[in-house]
A and B are shown apart, each in its own frame.
Chain A
Amino acid sequence: MGLKKKAEPIANHGDEFDEKRHHPRTTEQLVNDLSSNDRDVRRWAIRDLSGQQDAHDAFIDRLPLEDDPTVIEALFSALEHDMSDSHASQVLTMLKSEHVQLRNGAIELMQQNPDVFAANVNLLMKDNDPDTRIFCVDIIGAVAHIEALNWLHQFALTDDNENVVGTALDKLAEIADTSTLDILQTVESRFPNHSYIQFVISLIRNQVRGADE
């Protein structure tokens, strides 16, 4: 935390912003600025700390306390790169947050870090909260990962919650291939009276067979 932050040239956003930026500052001062009452100061601190991996702890600590949507957005942007395993675990706990922006920010961050997400997917699959598992499926649907199809098959075949399975099938409707046809009969028999699941299974079959012809 004792690193000196270089004063980097940035776009001129006017005297008022410049005044609030208080540069040059040490990393420690910038971290303190994350708790400033002035959101512009907090935004400047995030911007000036971006790229410093040792600031990620401070960003993650700040997220649940932050109430300004633009600052929350800036915090998530600053966390996009070089995410460590421990930071990933902390971000994943935000999937359980009641705060929509935090939850959606965590989802987007995982979508941008498919390998980090992949390392945690098995834990998420076993989470007790079906809503967390639904968010996991949402992330799988958006990550370009070689295992995405297999993960969705696993959810559809093994999850006990009909809404989790329904969400997995919704994602499969976009990326299913002929290997999906093999699992659909089993999924169909698990939820024989579930009209939405039966609807999507029929849709996937038609899509895959249509694409195969």
Chain B
Amino acid sequence: MKTVMIVDDATTVRMFHKKLVSTPDRIIEEAENGVEALEKAIGTQVDLFLVDVNMPKMDGYRLCKEIRRNEALRAVPVIMISTESANQDAERAYQCGANYYMTKPVDADMLKSVVSAVIGGGANE
């Protein structure tokens, strides 16, 4: 089983992304912001973070940096999803340690494919 943690302050976005990436061989965890994501992730086996950029308390950029600083989490892939499509935003995400950067609205098939490429299972198997 692989665990995907979806981090977004919008409830319906979490529900939508959960619907897209759920498969029988995946556990989906959810968090409303970076602080909650870190609290839930520490001590849990997380295989992939799907992270929104703009969130209260701790935004996606900072969460990504914290993940890379944390010994137990630093190797976990991070897909950042943002409404901001400017090149500088993608660059900032990669500088913070993101592995992939996608802009909203996400293409449903693309998100499924990227998640499968990163952790296996799902649509590509």
Contact = CB atoms under 8 A, between A and B. Distances in A.
Contact of B83 (A100, A131, A170, A194): A131
B105 interface: yes
Interface string B96-119: 000000001110100000000000
A49 interface: no
Interface string A1-19: 0000000000000000000
A100 B10 contact: no
Interface string B5-20: 0000011110110010
B84 interface: yes
Contacts of B12: 169-170, 173, 196, 199-200, 203
A41 interface: no
Given A134-B54, A199-B19, A166 B59 contact: no
Given A131-B84, A170-B10, A195-B108, A200 B16 contact: yes
A166 B105 contact: yes
Nearest to A161: B83
A35 B40 CA distance: 39
A104 interface: yes
Interface residues of B, number: 19
Give the one of B10, B12, B19, B56 with max A CB within 10 A. Answer: B12
Nearest to A172: B12
B2 interface: no
Interface string B74-109: 000000000110000000000000000000111010
Contacts of B15: 199, 203
Contacts of B68: none
Nearest to B33: A104
A170 B16 CA distance: 11
Interface string A82-110: 00000000000000000010001001000
29 contacts: A100-B59, A104-B56, A130-B83, A131-B83, A131-B84, A134-B54, A134-B83, A162-B105, A163-B105, A169-B12, A170-B10, A170-B13, A173-B12, A174-B11, A195-B16, A195-B105, A195-B108, A196-B12, A196-B13, A196-B16, A196-B104, A196-B105, A197-B105, A199-B12, A199-B15, A200-B12, A200-B16, A203-B12, A203-B15
